[in-house]
Amino acid sequence: MLLLVGLGNPGPSYAGNRHNIGFIALDAIARRHGFGPWRRRFQGEVAEGQLAGEKVLALKPLTYMNESGRAVGEASRFYKIEPQDVIVLHDELDLAPGKVKVKAGGGAAGHNGLRSITSHIGPYFRRVRLGIGHPGHKDRVLGWVLSDFAKADAEWLERLTDAVAADAPLLAENSEKADGSFMSRVNQAVFPPKPRKPKPAAAAPAARAPGPAPGPAPTTAAAPPAAEEPESLIARALRQAREKLQHKD
């Protein structure tokens, strides 16, 4: 059995906050995979369903973010669920908006919800980190996470939660390979690769203008008689000498 936890704060005033992206993603998973109705239990709201044939208890703690571990600890103890079978979806300041990473174990990195869960079940649970971006300065963090998503965020947020819900069965496989596939598929769905531009087609050779109709084949002019080779000086001298002898006779 898996315990799938979405982190957030209860109540309508917090529903659209960046800090509540864990609740938003968990609701999308429950809807997509036909989980049962939400009911109050373990200091939170729970719904039962299946992912990849594995029984799953979805949990939204209603203890407020800083005390999330109370609900997670109570549910995991009741069902005797080991920390490695606990998956927590939460907001992540250190990831660009819409990016997702899966991590097993580790520290809280300043996240009070993770810190509370660690204090109740230890650090070895799995985390699905959902990027909300950083406001740029630590003094603005509290106001950032407790503010609603901007209208400009609606498009990537919908793509992200749809992809997380569609590929959630990979998380139930509980393997590094499946977690890697989950990250790759979700990130490609949120940020699809740009299509390559087709190479321009080679220009067709220009058509030649039609030439004149072929006439009779030209006659080859007769070659002029070969010119006599000029006499060499010796030949000329011999000829002239013979002529002189003939005149003397």
Give the DSSP per-residue string, the chain: -EEEEE----SGGGTTBGGGHHHHHHHHHHHHTT----EEETTEEEEEEEETTEEEEEEEE-S-GGGHHHHHHHHHHHHT--GGGEEEEEEETTS-TT-EEEEES---TT-HHHHHHHHHH-S-SEEEEEE----SSGGGHHHHHTSBPPGGGHHHHHHHHHHHHHHHHHHHT-SHHHHHHHHHHHHHHHSPPPPPPPPPPPPPPPPPPP-PPP-PPPPPPPPPPPPPPPPPHHHHHHHHHHHHHHHH-
- Residues with active-site annotation: 19
Annotated binding site for tRNA: 14, 64, 66, 112
Annotated binding site: 14, 64, 66, 112
